[in-house]
Structure 1
């Protein structure tokens, strides 16, 4: 049974067939919503987007113990989340639905899916942009900030 988010959004579990849409959602979100992280620096942005390809998403979504969800408004995917093993690897929404409950609904679906798969603790590496969101959702710091290609990521975790 799908979860329903505000604004007539529907959260659906995805197959790798949705990789192209998922990739586009993540690329839009990183480019337009994560300016706090990349500061508009083309070098940093290009490094971050380098592996955000349809082929990479297809492989990640098809991997063993991977679960993916999309938030939809009609036929349009407006958010995407991916859990791999016990890690929330991706959770992004397009700019048009930012701060409208879509990310929370995706996170809830991802946590429930992980719980059902036997995961007792979910880990992630948060951007600066999303850190307050995850802290509000019960995640706590789980180590030192990681730096890569001009980006910083705070490891976080949550007992499910």
Structure 2
């Protein structure tokens, strides 16, 4: 269990019954927390949310090369992280849980899972909103910004050790 001065929560593996709550959390986080990326443009938001459906979430968490974790306070879902192979495909926190250690706990837990699976380098595409978070947590940029559907994504990577996160790879 992780504890901060304002919030106590636990991180656990996702179960199929979490799909609806995960979908809701993704949609809420993108709409409320990622304004630096979508600038409240309804077309951009709609494109970003288009694949955030319960059926897609079920497929993502059931994929054989995926590891999915959620952070919970009681039954309240505060965050979700999804590793797909070596790629961190999702790491989102509910607006009410920002800056309370939820994202960091999810990231550390997913890095530990990745290391245990033999992943040597974790990669991700960061939003503008999340770039400072990933930078603070040891990820380095590793390529040019990619553009998609009115959004920008910064490729990043982090070298993991057999015992968990360690050093980063230069870009």
Scaled by the length of structure 2, the TM-score of the pair is 0.90
- Residue 106 of structure 1 is matched in structure 2 by 106
- Report the Cα offset of residue 17 of structure 1: 2.4
Structure 1 CA distance for aligned equivalents of residues 108 and 23 of structure 2: 21
- For 1:137-160, what per-residue CA distance to the aligned partner results, in whole angstroms no more than 9, with x for missing partners? 000011100001110000000001
- For 1:13-45, what per-residue CA distance to the aligned partner results, in whole angstroms no more than 9, with x for missing partners? 112321111111111100000000000000000
- Report the Cα offset of residue 136 of structure 1: 0.5
Partner-residue secondary structure (3-state), 1:128: coil
Partner-residue secondary structure (3-state), 2:138: coil
- For 1:41-81, what per-residue CA distance to the aligned partner results, in whole angstroms no more than 9, with x for missing partners? 00000000000000000001000110000000111111000
- Residue 4 of structure 1 is matched in structure 2 by 2
Structure 2 CA distance for aligned equivalents of residues 5 and 68 of structure 1: 21
Q: Work out whether 1:23 is the aligned partner of 2:54.
A: no
- Residue 51 of structure 2 is matched in structure 1 by 51
Q: 1:16 to 1:5 in 2, by over 3 A?
A: farther
CA contact (8 A) 1:83 1:90 kept: yes
- Residue 163 of structure 2 is matched in structure 1 by none
Structure 2 CA distance for aligned equivalents of residues 17 and 114 of structure 1: 23
- Residue 64 of structure 1 is matched in structure 2 by 64
Unaligned runs of 5+ in 1: none
- Residue 147 of structure 2 is matched in structure 1 by 147
Runs of 4+ aligned residues of structure 1 deviating over 6 Å after TM superposition are none
Structure 2 CA distance for aligned equivalents of residues 15 and 60 of structure 1: 12
Q: 1:88 to 1:5 in 2, by over 3 A?
A: farther
**Aligned residues between the structures:** 158
- Residue 118 of structure 2 is matched in structure 1 by 118
**Could you say which structure has the greater relative contact order, defined with CA pairs below 8 angstroms and 6 or more residues apart?**
1
Partner-residue secondary structure (3-state), 2:129: helix
Structure 2 CA distance for aligned equivalents of residues 41 and 140 of structure 1: 29
